[in-house]
Amino acid sequence: MNTAVLKMLISKIPHTHEDEIGCDDCFDELHKFAEMELKGKSPEKAMPLIQEHLDNCGECRQEYQALLEGMKELKEYS
Nearest-approach distance from CB 28 to another protein, in angstroms: 9
Binding to another protein in span 20-49, by CB under 8 A: 20, 22-24, 27, 30-32, 34-35, 38
| Among residues 44, 51, 52, 57, the one that binds another protein under rule CB under 8 A | 57
Q: Which is closer to another protein, CB of 8 or CB of 45?
A: 8
Query: 22-42 burial by CB neighbour count: b if 16+ within 10 A, else e?
Result: eeeebeeebeebbebbbeeee
